[in-house]
Amino acid sequence: MIIITKLGKIALETKSIFNNSLLLQATFFIYAFHQCFCTVVVKLWFNVCGGNNVFTTLIAYILSFVSMVAVSVGVYWLLRRLFPRFTAVITGGRG
């Protein structure tokens, strides 16, 4: 864990990765919101990928993670754009 933190710090300092402010602001919302549809998305990707061996199971979980983050950030962006006060209340003023 310390190594990962150190590598992240080095990457940010050397500008080899960038700091996405929308993603940083949406982290609490992603954490709170993703559980609402987590099971449904995983089942959907299992049905699409087949989920009958290790490789397709891994692909299903990767796709479910990516789609959950994308949908959560999209909903957060839309809520922040349309209802900024409401978004501030439900995220506890974060972002």
Does the residue 31 lie in any domain? yes
pLDDT digits 0-9 by tens, 39-86: 888 888 888 888 688 888 888 889 998 998 888 889 989 999 999 998
| Number of domains into which the chain is organized | 1
The residues, any chain, with a CB within 8 Å of residue 87's CB and separated by 6 or more, are: 29, 76, 79, 80, 95
Q: For residue 90, with 0-12 CB atoms within 10 Å meaning exposed, 13-18 middle and 19 or more buried, which class applies? A: middle
Q: Give a yes or no: residue 26 inside a domain.
A: yes
pLDDT 10s digits, 15-52: 655 566 777 778 888 888 888 888 888 888 888 888 68
By the 10 Å C-beta count (0-12 exposed, 13-18 middle, 19+ buried), 75 is classed as middle
Residue 74 is assigned to a structural domain of this protein: yes
The reply to whether 7 falls in a domain is no
Asked if residue 10 belongs to a domain, the reply is: no
Task: List the one residue out of 35, 42, 12, 25 whose CA is nearest residue 79.
Answer: 25
In a domain, 4, yes or no: no
What residues make up the domain containing 80?
20-90
Tokens representing 84? 């900024």
pTM for this one? 0.69
Domain assignment present for residue 13? The answer is no
Is 36 part of a structural domain of the chain? Answer: yes
Residue 83 DSSP one-character state = -
